[in-house]
Structure 1
Amino acid sequence: MQNSFGTISRFCRLYLGRKQNFARAFSINIANRMSLVNQTVKNSLLHSTSLRENLKVLGVPPKMRSEPAFKKIDSPEFHSIFTDELQALIDIFKRYYYELRIAGGAVRDILMGIKPKDIDLATTATPDQMKEMFNKEKVRLINAKGEKHGTITPRIHNKENFEVTTLRIDVRTDGRHAEVQFTTDWQLDANRRDLTINSMFLGFDGTLYDYFYGYEDLMQRRVVFVGEADVRIKEDYLRILRYFRFFGRIAKEPSKHDVETLKAIRENAEGLARISGERIWAELQKIVVGNFGCELVQEIISCGLGSHCGLPVDANIDEFKRLCADLENFSKPHTPIFYLIALLHTTEEAMSLHQRLKLSAFERDLALFITQNRKKVGVEFCKLRDYQRLCLQPNARREFVEELLKYSNEVELYNELKAWKMPRFPLTGSILKEHGLTADKRMGVIMTRLRSIWIDSDFSITGDELLTNHLADVIESLKTPPGTPNKKRKSE
């Protein structure tokens, strides 16, 4: 019976915060203090029928390591993180008897032999305790917005910032956001994280703390959720895209997905509709430019996620695959939106994508420019001069024209255009005003026509020549209704 209670206690402790009405019971050691537990909760846990119902919500507990602190790390990547500022931070936490460990991506990078770009830290200290501690130590704090999530950012020696987050559990989730509660239990915090490879901690003595066999998954380049994928996805549907992002970062083969994980993703695809476009785009950008980006985007569409990400139902997979292959002819990096444009058929679909993902003005305009002009390549636009003219149009940008050539795999023309030094049009609105023109709607039209004459001359006509030999004719042409022959001037 003692073993049974021990198992139940472990189960309860692991799922603290995953079901709010169990929260009080979870904090008690059932094996030793069973009489203190609410009778309703005890019956729910001890009777198999109720337990099965709870498992539907909570999921089957993940496989847990009996000795989490099982390995010592002593690598160059680990030792490289110890700046004077980090050591000072470690010493502060030691003086106040709070635990501090490396968390998340930095642990993963160190284990993979990669020097971390930045370090996330986790602690048993609450935000209030950290603020009090840093205030006593006269350490400046920045970025107060993170405090509501349990994150405090001290700036050490006025040189280096560190994000330190209190251990926490999710007491309520709605598929988008979580209501959290602080804890001092490292295993409970590890259990709230999405993937096993992200649930490890690393002590500053080199001790690796791994509760759910994330180390083995990382060594085997296996990307799986902590516990049941279906349950973890329902807590935050953005985890669907996070799975694909980390798969691209970790996996060695593009198609070696966990079957049950993909099944859970397909079954929860509609949940992405509840996630904001900005959050979706932040993940997609990293996926498309990462390892296996081409294969992962196809898998995302195959799982029925495309329409929830702003892509058309009949996304142009063939064009997308063609673009991914052709981009091997060009040096990286490529802007992320560039890849998604290939999946679109029309400018209307480009606007739909913009409305869903809240693209930047640059991304939106590039998508519109390429969808409007890609069919003209090799038809209306054939020679370098055609693309030079396009660069000089009022509503065009040279960068867009270069991207159009790249999109169309016009390597030679692309290189020629990149090397071209674009001349400066010799006239301005101020110069035209000096010659008697007023700043009205006609001025833009006049400027465009004069610019066309200048381009046709191979950019050789000077500003004075345009004003002397062409300005009057352009103005006269605007007085004549379209389709009627020019009449002779009265002076003639």
Structure 2
Amino acid sequence: MWGRIFVHPVLTGRVRLTWSCRSLFTMQLKTKEFQSLFTDGLNGIAELFEKNQFELRIAGGAVRDLLSGKRPDDVDFATTATPDEMKSMFQAAGVRMINNKGEKHGTITARLHNENFEVTTLRVDVQTDGRHAEVEFTTDWQKDAERRDLTINSMFLGLDGTLYDYFRGYEDLQSRKVRFVGSAAQRIQEDYLRILRYFRFYGRVADQPGDHEPETLQAIQENARGLAAISGERIWVELKKTLTGNHAAHLLEVIYDLGLAQYIGLPTEGDVEELKRVWQQAQNWSPKPMTLLSALLRCSEDVDRLDLRLKISREEKNLGLFLVKHRRDLLKSVDDSDSLRPYTDFIIDSREPDAQSKVCELLKYQGEERLLVELKSWSIPRFPVSGHDLRKMGITSGKEIGIILQQLRDVWKKSHYQMDKDELLSNVTRS
């Protein structure tokens, strides 16, 4: 490996790869995505750190994205400066600081040229309990990299384009491997949520669904019980990202095979085969996470139990209840020439404002691609008759008005929503 030169298509210009010690891998990154990060704000922050002789590097997921040829949505920074040193430096330069909640963990957020820059002091974990960590600050970049979860998330990128990779993260990224930094069991025991982060990133990085290292799966299985102490909200964030990534059905199957389901709110007897079927049909239509997850659920009580553990939103719970209830009964039309009609009739009769969105998710679940395309271009027609129209005809009984309106609505639906007010009112007969 010493002195090896390797050129990857992500990189442009001159590429330099060196091994300055047995663990540190460096190379030079010069891409348009990297260069686009250098706004007036970042240039100002960089100049300030350099002037005060503190190192500043891009950290974590942003480095991974840049190496994959993507411009990151969020950029986090790491530094050798302590929080107090950063505060003194920013105050002296007149740079505003906001949102100081992360200060005890080493994070200071500076605002310059209408941009926020989140900068965190290098850290080492002093004590962990599987959920939280007590940290102390360091100036050792490798020590900070050691405490991160996955190799692909443990790299740093200097503002001159130099990559600093201590744990073969770049190599893993190029070969589409998802590995923990060092000992998988140790990393997991520091924060059991990392089990689910493994699956989430596997769905983002890996090419093939079954390319897991046996040692990693063993470490996950042996530490599964630790997930029971993780909050449902944190679990749901990771689970949703797994469901919207690649290989979602495979990853949920692995989650069941390793015995994780019981600790993260999923039904122990979840219908994995149904999930695989729905995923195969719906994956190209960007189904919502709850649409896929509903395939595991066998009844409304499963939705309630899921909500109790994961604290899903009201909208997500209502979608789950809707899919579990209607995934079988809204399938066939009485009129084969209009197979969309059961769905449009349901939307017309529904009192829920998001009925059309729910039915679109139902069609994804059912694999009805043609009907989904038709429904997406369909606008909900307005029923043209009101109670006021009937009162003008001399009908004053509220009960009678309700009965007649329902009768007229049925006639209107049978006309494919084409009959206008006059045509409908001509059908009114009084008893």
TM-score if structure 2 supplies the norm length? 0.84
Which residue is equivalent to 1:186?
Answer: 141
Q: Determine if contact 2:110/2:117 at 8 Å carries over to the other structure.
A: yes
Structure 2 residues without counterparts, runs of 5 or longer? 1-19
Find out whether 1:362 has 2:318 as its counterpart: no
Aligned pair partner of 2:287 in 331, 334, 337: 334
User: What one-letter code is carried by the residue in structure 1 that aligns with 2:201?
Assistant: F
Superposition pairs of residues 299-314 of structure 1, within 5 angstroms: 299-314=254-269
Partner-residue secondary structure (3-state), 1:375: coil
For the residues of structure 2 that align with 1:217 and 1:348, how far apart are their CA atoms?
Answer: 42
Shift of 1:424: 1.2
Q: Determine if contact 2:124/2:135 at 8 Å carries over to the other structure.
A: yes
Aligned pair partner of 2:129 in 170, 174, 177: 174
Q: Determine if contact 1:298/1:317 at 8 Å carries over to the other structure.
A: yes
For the residues of structure 2 that align with 1:166 and 1:446, how far apart are their CA atoms?
Answer: 71
User: What one-letter code is carried by the residue in structure 1 that aligns with 2:225?
Assistant: E
Which residue is equivalent to 2:369?
Answer: 411
Structure 1 residues without counterparts, runs of 5 or longer? 1-63, 474-492
Partner-residue secondary structure (3-state), 2:135: strand
Which residue is equivalent to 2:12?
Answer: none
Q: Structure 1, residues 71-130: CA drift from partner, whole Å, max 9, x if none?
A: 333344433322222111100111222211111112222223333333210012222222
Q: Structure 1, residues 131-179: CA drift from partner, whole Å, max 9, x if none?
A: 2221222222232333233222212212x22111111122221111112
Q: Which shifted more, 95-104 or 413-422?
A: 413-422
For the residues of structure 2 that align with 1:133 and 1:471, how far apart are their CA atoms?
Answer: 83
User: What one-letter code is carried by the residue in structure 2 that aligns with 1:142?
Assistant: I
Find out whether 1:295 has 2:286 as its counterpart: no
Which residue is equivalent to 2:56?
Answer: 100
Q: Determine if contact 2:383/2:409 at 8 Å carries over to the other structure.
A: yes
Q: Which shifted more, 429-438 or 185-194?
A: 429-438
For the residues of structure 2 that align with 1:238 and 1:433, how far apart are their CA atoms?
Answer: 62
Partner-residue secondary structure (3-state), 1:334: coil
For the residues of structure 2 that align with 1:128 and 1:471, how far apart are their CA atoms?
Answer: 82
Shift of 1:366: 1.2
For the residues of structure 2 that align with 1:436 and 1:276, how far apart are their CA atoms?
Answer: 56
Aligned length: 405
Aligned pair partner of 1:280 in 232, 235, 254: 235
Shift of 1:270: 1.6
Partner-residue secondary structure (3-state), 1:342: helix
User: Which of these two proteins has the greater Rg computed from alpha carbons?
Assistant: 1
Q: Which has the higher helix share?
A: 1
For the residues of structure 2 that align with 1:278 and 1:267, how far apart are their CA atoms?
Answer: 23
Find out whether 1:423 has 2:376 as its counterpart: no
Find out whether 1:345 has 2:303 as its counterpart: no
User: What one-letter code is carried by the residue in structure 2 that aligns with 1:365?
Assistant: N
User: What one-letter code is carried by the residue in structure 2 that aligns with 1:398?
Assistant: Q
For the residues of structure 2 that align with 1:223 and 1:407, how far apart are their CA atoms?
Answer: 30
Find out whether 1:241 has 2:196 as its counterpart: yes
User: What one-letter code is carried by the residue in structure 2 that aligns with 1:406?
Assistant: K
For the residues of structure 2 that align with 1:347 and 1:442, how far apart are their CA atoms?
Answer: 36
Q: Structure 1, residues 400-434: CA drift from partner, whole Å, max 9, x if none?
A: 12222221122333333223222112356888899
TM-score if structure 1 supplies the norm length? 0.74
Partner-residue secondary structure (3-state), 1:152: strand
Q: Determine if contact 1:195/1:224 at 8 Å carries over to the other structure.
A: yes
Superposition pairs of residues 68-79 of structure 1, within 5 angstroms: 68=24, 70-79=26-35
Partner-residue secondary structure (3-state), 2:285: coil
Aligned pair partner of 2:157 in 170, 186, 202: 202
The alpha-carbon distance between structure 1 residues 212 and 381, as it changes in their structure 2 partners (threshold 3 A), is farther
Q: Structure 1, residues 351-375: CA drift from partner, whole Å, max 9, x if none?
A: 2222222222221111111110111
User: What one-letter code is carried by the residue in structure 2 that aligns with 1:310?
Assistant: G
Q: Determine if contact 2:243/2:289 at 8 Å carries over to the other structure.
A: yes
For the residues of structure 2 that align with 1:444 and 1:142, how far apart are their CA atoms?
Answer: 57
Find out whether 1:401 has 2:359 as its counterpart: yes
Q: Determine if contact 1:266/1:303 at 8 Å carries over to the other structure.
A: yes
Q: Determine if contact 2:323/2:362 at 8 Å carries over to the other structure.
A: yes
User: What one-letter code is carried by the residue in structure 2 that aligns with 1:130?
Assistant: M
Find out whether 1:89 has 2:42 as its counterpart: no
Superposition pairs of residues 135-154 of structure 1, within 5 angstroms: 135-154=91-110
Q: Which shifted more, 377-386 or 222-231?
A: 377-386
Q: Which shifted more, 441-450 or 184-193?
A: 441-450
Q: Which shifted more, 395-404 or 230-239?
A: 395-404
Aligned pair partner of 1:392 in 336, 345, 348: 348
User: What one-letter code is carried by the residue in structure 2 that aligns with 1:400?
Assistant: K
Tell me how large the CA RMSD over aligned residues is: 2.9
The alpha-carbon distance between structure 1 residues 372 and 90, as it changes in their structure 2 partners (threshold 3 A), is same
The alpha-carbon distance between structure 1 residues 462 and 269, as it changes in their structure 2 partners (threshold 3 A), is same
Which residue is equivalent to 2:6?
Answer: none
